[in-house]
Amino acid sequence: MKVNELASKLGYEILTREHNDADIKDGYTSDLLSDVMGNASEESILITIQGHKNTLAVASQLDFPAVLICNNRTAALDMLETAEKLKIAVLRTKDNQFVSSYKVYCEIKG
């Protein structure tokens, strides 16, 4: 499923002004970036509360098309600037990571 379709279906806010509308092949939920780097598969959507630019460093290494920020947490300005440069979408939801994981799983794997 493409980034824009997922965001629209689940009502996610899109915080980045531009991104590649790439295919989301898998998902991974974690707030420890070292864990993400070690265990997530490529082209996943990352479900997390870590709204800072270091999240993008890991996301770009693994070719993630999107990062979903949960609990309506703030995404730092430099995170969004980095994301726009890398063409990675930063989405946001009021749902927590547990609920988000369920909803995203149903869409991309269900």
Binding residues (CB under 8 A) for another protein: these are: 32-38, 50-54, 57-58, 76, 78
- What does the alpha-carbon distance between residue 39 and residue 55 come to, in Å, rounded to a whole number? 15
The residue among 38 and 110 lying less far from another protein, judged by its C-beta, is: 38
- What does the alpha-carbon distance between residue 53 and residue 30 come to, in Å, rounded to a whole number? 16
The residue among 10 and 80 lying less far from another protein, judged by its C-beta, is: 80
Instruction: Specify whether the CB–CB gap between 74 and 96 falls below 8 A.
Output: no
Least separation in angstroms between CB 37 and another protein: 4
Q: Going by DSSP bridges, is the β-strand pair 89-92/13-14 parallel, antiparallel, or unpaired?
A: antiparallel
Least separation in angstroms between CB 32 and another protein: 6
Least separation in angstroms between CB 47 and another protein: 16
The residue among 55 and 103 lying less far from another protein, judged by its C-beta, is: 55
**Spatial CA neighbour of 24 closest among 37, 7, 49:** 7
Q: Is 69 helix (H, G, I), strand (E, B) or coil?
A: strand
The residue among 32 and 106 lying less far from another protein, judged by its C-beta, is: 32
